[in-house]
Structure 1
Amino acid sequence: MNSPQRPEIVRNPTRSVAIGSISIGSQHPIAVQSMTATRTQDIDATVRQIHDLEAAGADVVRVAIDSRRDAEALMEIRRQVSCNLSVDLQENYRLAEVIAPHVNKIRYNPGHLYHHETERPWQDKVRYLMQVARDNDCAMRVGVNCGSVDPAVKERFAEDDSISPMLESAWQHCAVLDELGFDRYCVSLKDSDPQKVIEVNRRFAEKRPDVPLHLGVTEAGMPPDGIIKTRIAFEQLISRGIGDTIRVSLTVANNRKAEEIAAGRKILEEIAAGRVRSVVDYGLKTLNIISCPSCSRVENEAFVELGEQVREMTRYAEQYRITIAVMGCRVNGPGETDDADLGLWCGPTHVNFKRGKDTIGAFPYDAILPRLKAELDQLIVQRSAGV
């Protein structure tokens, strides 16, 4: 397919990293990515979605695997698609050697490496991943997320400092890869708060201007607010030369995933045209609903509908400075709801409900909204009383 014409944007002089048929970094065009939302083992549905994303202009498509059966499905998917594929290893880093011959890029989360083989130093695990990538002609992404930082790193910083642990983790992993002589990697540092995304990426780029950066606002939520939050971060970073590949992460139904690509391309076009606005111009509501993008990790597709229901139900509270998180899986849910005032993370049959870091309980999907409203009303009374 013919790729859409790319806008010209002046960039930081990062090194070039090849991912299949494209390269990111240096002065290569900023690549636009997305991630499949279908179950990986549903091969036909996943292939259709990859084709849809590619037709929309995706340069790289990421697919998550969490088991050997997922990996085997992705092998068959690869036989049916020709796009540049990135694999998300989730928490099972040992699957890298199984799937690496069939993909162009391996993404791992430093915070998830401690879940398996806890007695093994994380440096050894990174060495293993690097060797697998090198042996199979794969690029790598060191994907740091605010809600899943390695506990050993996080405990060294103040509880209210979420940026420093992310930076320390990223710098540590870069240092190990550098020592191993492997430079075919990029880094992502993601948060649901666009201002923190700006700050953490700016600080990383000051220390490691050579490393290509993958930009994104995690759990940005539903359109249009999810696009606005992402645009705020992208405008402030890309207009300063920071950023080599992007993903707009939206909570949308499976048949709307191509909207992520369209949104990303439009943002890049407008930045290139100099249409960069101040944060206040966007008029975001005080009530902040964060929700993770629909992806193959979601254990119940009712998660997307629940996000829409939460948005509608909470409209009466838009003037209050309250954050509600709606998360779709066990991978991101437990940790990335901690900073929200009220947090929901969705399992196969029940929704786990938290207030801050405290668990309230697990409720059926058809019973969670009344319980959420009761807690929200109580929180509003407390905020109004200055408690």
Structure 2
Amino acid sequence: MTATCSPPANPIDADGLRDRVDAALGNFLDEQEERFDDLISDPQSRSQWRAATQSLRGFLAGGKRIRPAFCYWGWRGAGGGADDEGVIGAAAALELLHSFALVHDDIIDASDTRRGAPSLHRQHAELHRRSGGRGSSELFGTSIALLLGDLCLAWFHDMLATSGLPAERIREARPLVAHSLTELVLGQYLDVAEQACSRHSVSRSYTVIHYKTAKYTIERPLHLGGVLAGASPALLGSYTAYAMPLGEAFQLRDDVLGAFGDPAVTGKPVADDLRTRKATVLLATARERASAAQEAEIDRLFTGADLDDAQTTRLQDLVVETGALAECERLIDRRVDAAAAALGAMPVGDDVRAVLASLIRATTDRAR
């Protein structure tokens, strides 16, 4: 496969990456289904298992493939070849890791939707209701989703180990993978803990972003690709300088979309982050910048029952009136500039630099 120096409009498609990742995931899931069919002799149990794995296939099909893209271009930046299908398997495995995180995140947040469709625990609760199953449909849905999330984590390790890359490279990546998982859990824990606080903090919300998004979404996928290709510590350091401000900008954009995005595009209910009073930098900034009267109004909205449409609109207005929205846009711009400056100093080829520059735009100038 020939490298591209001028990436397509969607940089995730550069080098045919999306199709290659999707194909690798499809092949892996096919192999797992065949493997488990041989282990399950009872026809009803096999049918139930297939229904569960089919729901997981549907869930996996909706991903943006951001993390595989950063992993692949981290590999390319460290001298890895475009034609090596082993790195495609390793990059695709990150979608399984991400699905593990999302499934559990949706349970923690009691989210009804994901990517414009019912979240996995809601899907299985509905299946239980329709089939007239015994016991609680909600508990059944949550239990099945937890198990499928755990399965994604197990399959992530399996797919990475069987990607076809040299065994020594996989061994070298293991400490990074272990550390990354700890960071992910830490970020999720801090997010839950902050959500429980009566008063959200801008600095604590940034700490959540640091671990839950910036490292997990951009830095560690870049590092994984780099380590698998034998990257030097200096190159990995340049990846970090690029990834951390970009990861923060990515999450800040997500915060804005969670408060003001079009639900037809985001796949989430209108102003979902506001309705759930999510502990975002955006909302914490609104509180920090609010006048006494505005702060009292925000407090009333935060301590009441579920927000209706009028209250949600009022909270949106307060985010704008306090200057929090404008401040978040300024913060995004500054972090984009920092990522671009770090990319300019990164010791990679022009083809890699072009795609990583496009990924800055793709991750921060988006509607979903």
Which one has a bigger Cα radius of gyration?
Answer: 2
Higher relative contact order (CA 8 A, sep 6+): 2
TM-score, length-scaled by structure 2: 0.25
- Larger relative helix fraction: 2
TM-score, length-scaled by structure 1: 0.24
